[in-house]
Amino acid sequence: MKKIIAILSVIWITASAAAQIQDPVDWSYSVKKVSADTYTFTATANIEGDWHIYSQTTGKGGPIPTKITFNKNPLVTIVGPTKEIGKVQQVYDELFKTNVRFIGETATYTQTIKVRGGIKTNISGTVSYNVCDDRQCLPPSKKSFDLKLQ
């Protein structure tokens, strides 16, 4: 009887672990002061194994591109577009019937930020992305960030 309970326990623990939500992307955020009123915001995605996220330049009709959205702050000005750094691959995707662009392993996004009058404030927002591998896609995800600008 003890063997049966032990085996059922192992099966239950294994099934519970498999049922947990996967998140193969680990995001980190930082800001670096460049001058008295200018900062560089950086968001880095470390992507596990064969998973990938879609480039912010993936066109219409394809999967959801990665997008960084900054919350409005009257003391902060976002300067120019967000830059994407990583090994971008482009392939024709039969499912979407279009070329898709994606990044695996590590993707880095940088954004120049200006702060009015050197005042201490925060920069906050969200990163929206879709993560897939060659067999499946997970539901679109959003991660929030909130960083002090000092």
Q: Which domains does the chain have, with CATH numbers?
A: 25-149 (2.60.40.1250)
pLDDT of the residue at 21? 57
Comparing CA positions, the residue from 51, 70, 62 lying closest to residue 101 is 62
Q: Per the confidence metrics, is the pTM higher than 0.95?
A: no
With cut-offs at 50, 70 and 90, classify the pLDDT of residue 134: confident
Percent of the chain with pLDDT over 90: 66
Q: How far apart are the first and last CA of the chain?
A: 63
| Residue whose token pair is 């392939």 | 91
pLDDT of the residue at 61? 83
Encode pLDDT of 93-127 as tens digits: 887 888 899 999 999 999 999 998 768 899 999 99
DSSP, collapsed to helix, strand or coil, labels residue 5 as helix
With cut-offs at 50, 70 and 90, classify the pLDDT of residue 67: very high
